[in-house]
Amino acid sequence: MWFAAPFVLSLVAPWLRRNYRPVLGFGFASSALGVVLLGGFIGFHGAPSGYWGILHDSSDVYAAFFASPEFQPGMTYRVLEPSEREDGMYRFMRHGAVLSNEFFTESTFHRPWNMEQYGCYTAFKRVDFVVVEQAWEHRMHFNEGDLLKSLVYRSQARIAYADPRGRFVVYNIQSFVAGQHRPSSLSQCPL
């Protein structure tokens, strides 16, 4: 597309010159619509993210958790938050936590899991705690939250902290991970 664009634009240049006002108006209107849809003004299933910060300030939703005895600096946390709100990961690092993935949500490895896959992955990453934001669950619709609840039900994990306002839950999965074989490479996991 990038290589063809100059040729296509030179072909349509005369038409663009004659109709620049409606084309410019359409360009501005479509850009404004994109900001509205991506900015969180209107929420819908499968909505892409990216402009949350237009309407919302950064907030430390984890402040009470960090002040609690349940937070353990130096442990490995898998933080599941919407992709436009990586400030939570930043706050975990600032408080001494180790992230199980790189700093950006694109590297978090979002997917549906079965128990064998999840056990292999969390063992390879040496995950101690999984933090699941409610906003992430509403956006992603994967089964990781349900899988963690089933681990709690089977006494292989426990809820370490539940936000009083219902924004996130922290699961301690150390006993689950301890019972898994740790692969030497992620390619050994049946993903």
Q: Is 103 helix (H, G, I), strand (E, B) or coil?
A: coil
pLDDT confidence of residue 44: 56
pLDDT confidence of residue 82: 81
* Contact by Cβ (8 Å): 40, 55: yes
pLDDT confidence of residue 119: 97
pLDDT confidence of residue 187: 93
* Contact by Cβ (8 Å): 125, 173: no
* Contact by Cβ (8 Å): 62, 168: yes
pLDDT confidence of residue 87: 82
Q: Which residues contact 76 (CB under 8 A, 6 or more apart)?
A: 97, 98, 99, 100, 125, 126, 127, 128, 129
* 69/160 Cα distance (integer angstroms): 10
pLDDT confidence of residue 109: 84
pLDDT confidence of residue 55: 65
Domain ranges within the chain, ordered by starting residue? 5-38, 63-188
pLDDT confidence of residue 43: 57
First to last CA, the chain: 33
* pLDDT tens digits in sequence order for the chain, 191 residues long: 888 988 988 999 899 889 989 999 999 999 888 777 766 556 555 555 555 666 667 778 999 999 999 999 999 999 998 876 778 899 999 999 999 987 776 677 888 999 999 999 999 999 999 999 998 888 778 899 999 999 999 999 999 999 999 999 999 999 999 999 999 999 999 98
pLDDT confidence of residue 38: 67
* 79/110 Cα distance (integer angstroms): 11
Write phi, then psi, for 183 (nearest 5 degrees). -75, 160
